[in-house]
Structure 1
Amino acid sequence: MATRTPPHTASADTSRTLAYFIVRRPRGLVAAALQYAHVHTEVTLNYAGRDDSSWMDDIQLENLEMVLEQNEQDARLLESGDHISGPAADEYRHRLRTRARFTGRVVTAGRSVDRLLEQTDPNIHHGEAMTCVWRRETAACRKARLEAGIPTEDGPNEAECWSSCSNLVYTDRNIVVQRRLQQQWEKVAADQLSPRPLRDRAAALAERSRAIIAAHHAGSAPTTSTTKER
């Protein structure tokens, strides 16, 4: 595993801990900005910048460690029979099987982390209910932002994830979550005390999860729709 030993100070420990949660938690950067009452997430990325020049190195290193751990877990599950479905299933398998292996080294600078990420990052992004095999040319979230005149980043935007996107795949882990979501939506749809529009939307979401699960077990890609993935 890539490691860099930070100075033994409270500031360094706080910086590394914050970097961990920004990288590894859903919407971690936004959550950190809210926690520290920053108006813009850019302020959080510049957090302690004047006093601790290693802040961005901490972010980069945590990102590298997360990618390496995810690669190993994904490859191990794939080799043990993890089923993958969805339009980008073949690309998911290809990226994992052809990924550069990391043999271990000590990282001393941010530039070294950047080079290692370029070599080892398959650009696979796991959500709870879906997985994105990122390709900017076919990303539905990027297209939606461009059409709305919103600045785009070179990476997935979970808040704008569409179930029709050709970058999506579903792992067995995702299907466990989809099954739980299906049950939750079915309960809402069956609640006669809920407003009719809410029940109708819940029924549609339950049906979508049901279709994803069925397609996963059948070994085919889910029927696409124009709904956002939540």
Structure 2
Amino acid sequence: MVFKRILLKLSGEVFAGGEGFGIHPDTIARYAEEIREIRQMGMEVAVVVGGGNIWRGRMAPEMDRAAADHMGMLATVLNALALQDALEKVGVDTRVQTALQMAEVAERFIRRRAIRHLEKGRVVIFAGGTGNPYFTTDTTAALRALEIGADVILKGTKVDGVYDSDPVHNADARMFRTLDYLDVLKRGLKVMDATAISLCMDNKLPILVFNIAAPGNIKRIMSGEEIGTLVKE
């Protein structure tokens, strides 16, 4: 498949490297270099970041859910600013847009402005989730990808693709090369949450799940190599 405009979904946990918590500068620097490489290939790149390396609402079940989710949205802004810094250090013009109002550190999300940034060759990082509690950053990725007219969502994970069982605990787990949206929903496969999958299905937006921990995978995908699992109609 040939892609011109992509949305890269980075979960919070991949920002922590192998440490499980916090922000690992060397890991983020590598992501920035890989994004720089595909920008040089002419790709338009947007990124949605999670915040689970800093905070997840389910970490405090005794808290009000909306308050806990708002804390998670703020965590995504920290990751977005860290990635922006790494990208600009390798010469990539970058803008952070958030669903929350914080004009001193980032732009407010405006769809047409985001598209214009992409057309000018800037990387746009979307933070703050959708701005609403009860919605995941996976759903944010699906929503923003559709709003900017992305050709695909690239979901970077710690495994090579989507498996029929957990490959960490089952050596015989089988990886799928392709899946359709209904298979993902019926099998309960951990690609994205059901809201995000349904949104992609309704709008025929493909999702490519791949291992971002393997250096060079983003460029390989953009060069046409078959990597990971493609979820499509």
State whether TM-score is above 0.5.
no
Q: Answer 1 or 2: which has greater strand percent.
A: 2
Higher RCO, 1 vs 2 (CA within 8 Å, ≥6 residues apart): 2
TM-score (norm 1): 0.29
Greater C-alpha radius of gyration: 1
TM-score (norm 2): 0.29
